[in-house]
Amino acid sequence: MDLQLTGKTALVTGASRGIGLATVSALLDEGMRVVAAARTITPELKATGAIGISVDLSTAEGPALLVEQAVAELGGIELLVNNVGGGDSGEGWTGGFLTFTDEQWYETFELNFLASVRTTRAALPHLTRGGGAIVNVSSTSARTPHAGPITYSTAKAALTAFSKAIAEEFGPQGVRVNTISPGPVRTDMWESPDGYGSEVAKAMNVPQEELLAQLPATAGMVTGRLVSPAEVASLIAYLGSPLAASTTGADHVNDGNSVKTV
């Protein structure tokens, strides 16, 4: 299927690995010119041929500087993919509410919510000039807050609500805004030996391999497997394309039916 994206421009955050890296590859395959932002420009990201920009989006000034550089490189932005996120991995993130400090709350909201708010604010003047699209990567944790660290789930819920509000405000100016809420995705978050999956396995006193094997069933995923980054990337590409011209203000769950509510 031709998504009619050839020659169009995109900015993707959190692009060094996982969903972000897969999204960069998917958009390039559709003929887009892509600026890929990450704290570290990995060899895998360099190999895609995207324009890599190293930036820390958890800082107050990082998003505006990124958008300025992206516009200089591309001449404009027609699709913004706010994929940057984290703060839900490694030691200290598997306890309950009383275990989280103010610093952890601030850190998680800066990266998972405010980074997207600031990047969106900087990019919107460019998106409204000729119409454009924003896709924000949320999480099923926003719908099922018990399924992840409370700081992460709450920040993602804020991101989903923010996206709905922006879709309403800027829709009349030709800007479409959607979110994607993946379930457990086969990324370093679950597979890294020092990531969130490893800590969950330790807390449950089971090998990490066993946790990953059981996770789809535990999460209620009727597909019997974790979501692949490429599957999420394909949906992002579609939502950013003219083929989805009437799709806005929606949250698209990509979770193997782990969320059972209507």
Contact yes or no for 28/50 (Cβ under 8 A) = yes
Full residue range of the structural domain in which residue 147 is found: 9-187+228-254
Q: Is 18 inside a domain boundary?
A: yes
pLDDT digits 0-9 by tens, 154-171:
999 999 999 999 999 999
Single-letter code of the amino acid located at 105: W
Q: What is the mean pLDDT of residues 213-230?
A: 94
- 3-state DSSP helix/strand/coil percent for the chain, to nearest 5? 50, 15, 35
Q: Is 114 inside a domain boundary?
A: yes
pLDDT digits 0-9 by tens, 86-129:
865 566 778 889 999 999 999 999 999 999 999 999 999 999 98
Q: Is 233 inside a domain boundary?
A: yes
Distance (Å, whole) CA 163 – CA 178: 7
pTM above 0.75, yes or no: yes
Q: What is the mean pLDDT of residues 247-262?
A: 94
Q: Would residue 196 show up in a list of annotated catalytic residues for this protein? A: no
Residue 13's closest CA among 69, 66, 49, 60?
66
Q: Is 157 inside a domain boundary?
A: yes
Distance (Å, whole) CA 107 – CA 253: 25
Q: Domain of 115: which CATH number?
A: 3.40.50.720
- Name the catalytic one among 106, 152, 196, 238: 152
Q: Is 208 inside a domain boundary?
A: no
Given pLDDT bands bounded at 50, 70 and 90, which one contains residue 174? very high
Q: What is the mean pLDDT of residues 180-194?
A: 88
Domains held by the chain: number: 1
In this prediction, residue 89 carries a pLDDT of: 59
Q: Is 212 inside a domain boundary?
A: no
